[in-house]
């Protein structure tokens, strides 16, 4: 996400995102002088689930002539995930010139939900911070068209990672057991935590990530011992 605004978004452009989603996109959009337009989450009153409203994002992008639309899938902080075909429908509904940014930082926890084919004018962001527990080393990458990579290389040096970080990343990728074991243990603990919270009467939303979101009711309900 660090170099993408400099590569695809310019001063005065409009970036559309969801109000309350992963906030870093806001910082970098503001950093290049772009205008940020936010739409609310979709709120399912029956289940209490919040989800990124893809239709609302598309409508905002069309009405604002947006240069980019940002979607975290799975989403942070709701834990909700859209199916790949939903993301593909969003892409086909957006103007051709609008770049779709799909942040798949947590996709290892829902691999079947990751976008499997290259979509036009779309970039997928990935990281080793979650499934490989390497948040401190800040190892990340993107999947996009080749010319975008060449453009990003013009400013990549100031965001480069050190050789030790690269070496550790290569070691972990080469270890076929490390990632799956860590994922399985993380999911086990996540589900254990969810069950414990639900046993105390809390509304824990379904999660396709390594965390859970708890939705509280009224102020009176929250104040109960």
* Mean pLDDT value across residues 164-180: 91
Which pLDDT value is given to residue 148?
Answer: 81
Residue 183 lies in a domain: no
Which pLDDT value is given to residue 96?
Answer: 95
- The residue ranking higher by pLDDT, 221 or 184, is 184
Q: Is 135 helix (H, G, I), strand (E, B) or coil?
A: helix
Q: Are 5 and 32 in contact (CB under 8 A)?
A: yes
Which pLDDT value is given to residue 208?
Answer: 96
Residue 131 lies in a domain: yes
CATH number of the CATH domain containing 147: 3.40.640.10
Could you tell me the two tokens for 65? 């002539």
- The residue ranking higher by pLDDT, 59 or 165, is 59
Residue 142 lies in a domain: yes
- Dihedrals φ, ψ of 70, to 5°? -110, 130
Confidence of residue 3 (pLDDT cuts 50, 70, 90): very low
Which pLDDT value is given to residue 2?
Answer: 40
* Mean pLDDT value across residues 81-86: 96
Could you tell me the two tokens for 104? 């798949």
Residue 33: left (phi > 0), alpha (psi -120 to 50), or beta? left
Which pLDDT value is given to residue 128?
Answer: 92
Torsion over CA: 109, 112, 113, 116 (sign): positive
Q: Assess whether pLDDT exceeds 90 at residue 75.
A: yes
Residue 75 lies in a domain: yes
On average, the pLDDT of the chain sits at 89
Q: Assess whether pLDDT exceeds 50 at residue 5.
A: no
Residue 185 lies in a domain: no
Residue 202 lies in a domain: no
Q: Assess whether pLDDT exceeds 80 at residue 118.
A: yes
Could you tell me the two tokens for 158? 């100031």
Which pLDDT value is given to residue 1?
Answer: 42
- Boundaries of domain holding 109: 4-174
Tell me the C-alpha distance between 104 and 171, whole Å: 22
Residue 215 lies in a domain: no
| Confidence (pTM) | 0.89
Total number of domains in the chain: 1
Confidence of residue 105 (pLDDT cuts 50, 70, 90): very high
Kindly give, in sequence order, each residue whose CB lies less than 8 Å from that of residue 157, ignoring residues fewer than 6 positions away: none
Residues in the chain: 225
Residue 67 lies in a domain: yes
Cross-strand bridge partners of residue 71 = 102
* Mean pLDDT value across residues 121-146: 89
Could you tell me the two tokens for 173? 């990728």
pLDDT digits (tens, 9 = 90+) for 13-44: 999 999 999 998 888 888 889 999 999 999 98
Lowest mean pLDDT among 124-133, 148-157, 187-196: 148-157
Confidence of residue 6 (pLDDT cuts 50, 70, 90): very low
Spatial CA neighbour of 125 closest among 195, 161, 65, 74: 74
Q: Assess whether pLDDT exceeds 50 at residue 213.
A: yes
């Amino acid at each position: 996400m660090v170099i993408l605004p400099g590569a695809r978004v310019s001063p005065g452009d409009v970036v559309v995102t969801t109000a309350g989603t992963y906030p870093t996109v806001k910082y970098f959009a503001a950093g290049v002088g772009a205008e940020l337009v936010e739409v609310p989450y979709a709120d399912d009153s029956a289940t209490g689930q919040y989800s990124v409203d893809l239709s609302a994002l598309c409508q905002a992008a069309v009405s604002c002539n947006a240069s980019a639309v940002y979607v975290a899938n799975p989403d942070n902080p709701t834990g909700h995930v859209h199916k790949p075909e939903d993301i593909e429908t969003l892409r086909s509904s957006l103007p051709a010139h609008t770049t779709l940014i799909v942040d798949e930082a947590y996709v290892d926890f829902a691999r079947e939900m990751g976008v499997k084919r290259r979509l036009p004018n779309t970039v997928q962001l990935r990281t080793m911070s979650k499934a490989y527990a390497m948040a401190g080393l800040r190892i990340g990458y993107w999947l996009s068209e080749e010319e975008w990579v060449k453009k990003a290389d013009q400013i990549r040096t100031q965001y480069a990672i050190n050789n030790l970080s690269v070496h550790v990343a290569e070691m972990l990728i080469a270890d076929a057991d490390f990632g799956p074991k860590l994922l399985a243990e993380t999911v086990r603990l996540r589900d254990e935590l969810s069950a414990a919270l639900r046993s105390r009467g809390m509304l824990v939303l379904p999660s396709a990530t390594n965390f859970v979101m708890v939705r509280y009711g009224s102020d009176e309900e929250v104040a109960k011992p």
